[in-house]
Amino acid sequence: MNDMFEKRLQAAVAAGWWTAVIWWAFLAASWLFYLAIWYGKPDWMLVLWGHGQDEWPAVRTVFFWFLGGFKLAGLILFMMLIYLTIWSRRLRRA
């Protein structure tokens, strides 16, 4: 029973680290998208945003809050993965 649990835990840890890699790629892509939008300031972005007014500071604020929350969720993910990795290695030694 313990051997089966250890294998499942290792599989979960491996899947978690792949999820973290995908999270990191999405974070980098969203930051590059932000840079392209912020320096280009296309008109279609404000049309998609809503009123079509000059709302670039609002776009910037919402995007930074999104990135802040996304990074906080990533921090929680990484802390859980580190804990599970250490737990898995100690189970393997025991």
Would you tell me how many other CB atoms lie within 10 Å of the CB of residue 85?
16
For the chain, what are the domain ranges?
A: 2-93
- Asked if residue 34 lies in contact with residue 92, where contact means CB atoms within 8 angstroms, the answer is no
Higher pLDDT, 54 or 18: 18
Average pLDDT over residues 55-81: 91
Alpha helices in the chain (DSSP H): 2-40, 43-49, 56-93
In this structure, of 5-14, 38-47, 72-81, the range with the lowest mean pLDDT score is 38-47
- Asked if residue 27 lies in contact with residue 71, where contact means CB atoms within 8 angstroms, the answer is yes
> Is residue 85 predicted with pLDDT exceeding 60?
yes
